[in-house]
């Protein structure tokens, strides 16, 4: 009789636990669905108010994680585990884990600062932590860059925050600087005229600020001319390469040489007494 009551009690407990487990699984499934929905709603809401794409993704990730954490706690509570005691245990464990994962926490803090200060936005071409590329994503712990040769670079946020960041896309215009070397035998007026024609023929070069062309140096084997032309940021590299090629072609057509580095050597012969 006692065995029968024990088995009946065990069966009742098993059925109750199975029901609680099933409910906990449902809570987790619903929580996962809600986390995706929360990310989607947060993303749409941020986009509606015109937030930067990096902010949109960052906030969406945080909302999704918070909903998952709440769902996990609710599922554990459904299984009969006291969440208050669990939170106390997790707090103590979190302190130990935090000390062990100081780097990850610093990356998270740096991510929050980068999101607040916004030294770069999604799509900007930047240089930081010794690498350069186009910003693809700002995650909780890392910044993701895509390089022009189709590489994906993942950089810890703390390295980005603690180093120098160069943002080449921060402004709508950039200046192309080019030094052209010509022979000392070339007339200065002719060189100026030829180079000005190259600059004026490129419609991408802005008239305000006005392009700059001046003789800028007397090198060992050549006269140096400096070109400074303002262009739209997206036109920087195309104009740079076209100026390099265009100045060479124009100088060749005008018969103006771009000399090789050279050195004159004078030999003196002393007569023996």
Q: Is the pTM of this model over 0.85?
A: no
Closest listed residue to residue 143, CA positions, set 130, 127, 160, 126: 160
pLDDT digits (tens, 9 = 90+) for 233-272: 999 999 999 999 999 999 999 999 988 776 667 777 766 6
Give me the domains of the chain, ranges plus CATH numbers: 2-100 (1.10.287.1260), 119-167 (2.30.30.60), 173-253 (3.30.70.100)
pLDDT digits (tens, 9 = 90+) for 170-189: 999 999 999 999 999 999 99
**Cβ(33)–Cβ(43) below 8 Å:** no
pLDDT of residue 100: 45
pLDDT of residue 28: 83
Q: How far apart are CA 19 and CA 52, in angstroms?
A: 45
Query: Which contacts (CB < 8 Å, 24+ apart) does range 15-23 have?
Result: 17/79, 20/78, 20/79, 20/80, 21/79, 23/78
The residue written with tokens 């487990």 in the block is 21
pLDDT digits (tens, 9 = 90+) for 145-167: 999 999 999 999 999 999 999 99
H or E segment to which residue 245 belongs? helix 236-253
Among the listed ranges 36-50, 140-154, 166-180, 204-218, which one has the minimum average pLDDT value?
Answer: 36-50
């Amino acid at each position: 009789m006692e065995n029968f009551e024990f088995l009946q009690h065990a069966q009742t407990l098993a059925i109750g636990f199975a029901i609680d487990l099933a409910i906990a699984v449902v809570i987790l499934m619903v929580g996962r669905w809600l986390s995706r929905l929360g990310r989607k709603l947060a993303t749409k809401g941020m986009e509606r108010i015109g937030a930067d794409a990096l902010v949109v993704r960052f906030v969406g990730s945080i909302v999704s994680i918070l909903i998952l954490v709440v769902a996990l706690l609710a599922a554990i509570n459904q299984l009969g585990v006291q969440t208050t005691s669990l939170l106390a245990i997790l707090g103590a464990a979190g302190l130990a884990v935090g000390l062990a994962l100081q780097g990850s926490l610093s990356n998270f803090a740096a991510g929050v600062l980068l999101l607040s200060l916004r030294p770069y936005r999604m799509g900007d071409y930047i240089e930081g932590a010794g690498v350069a590329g186009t910003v693809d994503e700002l995650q909780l712990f890392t910044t993701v860059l895509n390089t022009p040769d189709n590489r994906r670079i993942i950089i810890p946020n703390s390295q980005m925050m603690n180093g120098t960041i160069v943002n080449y896309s921060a402004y709508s215009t950039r200046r192309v600087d080019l030094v052209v070397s010509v022979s000392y035998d070339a007339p200065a007026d002719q060189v100026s005229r030829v180079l000005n024609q190259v600059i004026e023929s490129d419609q991408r070069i802005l008239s305000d600020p006005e392009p700059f062309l001046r003789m800028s140096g007397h090198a060992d084997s050549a006269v140096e001319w400096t070109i400074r032309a303002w262009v739209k940021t997206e036109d920087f590299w195309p104009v740079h390469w076209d100026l390099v090629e265009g100045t060479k072609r124009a100088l060749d057509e005008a018969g103006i040489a771009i000399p090789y580095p050279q050195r004159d050597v004078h030999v003196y012969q002393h007569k023996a007494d």
